[in-house]
Amino acid sequence: NAKAAGRNTFRFYSQQMNEDAVQRLDIQNRLRRALERQEFILHYQPLIDLGSTRIVGAEALIRWNCPDLGMQPPGLFIPVAEDSGLIVNIGEWVLQEACRQARIWKDAGHGKLVIAVNLSPLQFTRGNLVETVTRALTDSGADPACIELEITESILMKDTEQVLATVRQLHAMGLRLAIDDFGTGYSSLAYLRRFAVDKLKIDQSFIRDLPTDPDAGAIVRGVIQMAKSLKIAVLAEGVETADIAHDLVLLGCDYAQGYYFGRPMPAEAFAELLPPPRN
């Protein structure tokens, strides 16, 4: 009967929730040890200038090489790291490691490469981001102009004095600011201006649908025109085919990133894609 079924359903859900909670706790504990055990690694995905089709930089994307669970993509552990606050320490490691790599590539003669680093909202609110970034730059000797910080629209939407002050300081230090997954949030043109954003990364959901969905085309065209008039650079995320890349060139998009040009890969593999330096 219905009552029994209801009870069973409840038991099923509560058991499921319990298992999820246990699993999250387990991941949390493993994450806590992962930093000291050096189980994180950054992979690098090429950023392409659509005009010249040259590599102009790389986005640093974290992976977790967990001895028990295997290689874990960020989608599986970043949310847990954010819930537990561990993301502040992990994010600090990411900045240190990305700056260290930027310095290595600069010394190898690839001085113009831009390294993009993803930031979590918690790094703005809980960590001392300016201090952390300053230390990463000083420890590595990386050029601030080679580091681009990727933030999501949700950070701009907070629009607190603290976030604004932090962004202004980072800008003054010479770093660049990109808006990640643009189009999926609710930021307005006013935010883009106030925060002096340098680059918009159009979310892959719009890019993927370019060949088939006229609305996606209209949105991408609109974003590119708007960005151009605000003197903000535009990058298309998730470019998987030559057709899409071609469409983007016609639309006047500046930069692209996606499996068509290259997947995220270890630093050594990425370096092999670079032209021999002329130094």
Is there binding between residue 266 and ligand C2E (CB under 6 A)? no
Among 47, 50, 58, 62, binds ligand C2E (CB under 6 A): 62
| Rounded least distance, CB 67 to Mg ion, Å | 27
Q: What is the dihedral of CA 36, 71, 83, 14, to 10 degrees?
A: -130
Gap between the Cα atoms of 104 and 37, Å rounded? 23
Is there binding between residue 70 and ligand C2E (CB under 6 A)? no
Gap between the Cα atoms of 49 and 57, Å rounded? 9
| Rounded least distance, CB 204 to Mg ion, Å | 6
At 22, which helix (H) or strand (E)?
A: helix 2-36
Choice between 18 and 39, CB closer to ligand C2E: 39
Is there binding between residue 94 and ligand C2E (CB under 6 A)? yes
Tell me which of Mg ion, ligand C2E, none is bound by residue 75, counting a contact when its beta carbon lies within the kind-specific cut-off of 5 to 8 angstroms. ligand C2E
Tell me which of Mg ion, ligand C2E, none is bound by residue 275, counting a contact when its beta carbon lies within the kind-specific cut-off of 5 to 8 angstroms. none
- Tokens 């370096």: give the residue: 271
Gap between the Cα atoms of 198 and 178, Å rounded? 6
Structure-block tokens of residue 143: 């050029």
Among 31, 110, 264, 270, binds ligand C2E (CB under 6 A): 264
Is there binding between residue 120 and ligand C2E (CB under 6 A)? yes
On whether the CB atoms of residues 58 and 270 are closer than 8 A, the answer is yes
Is there binding between residue 91 and ligand C2E (CB under 6 A)? yes
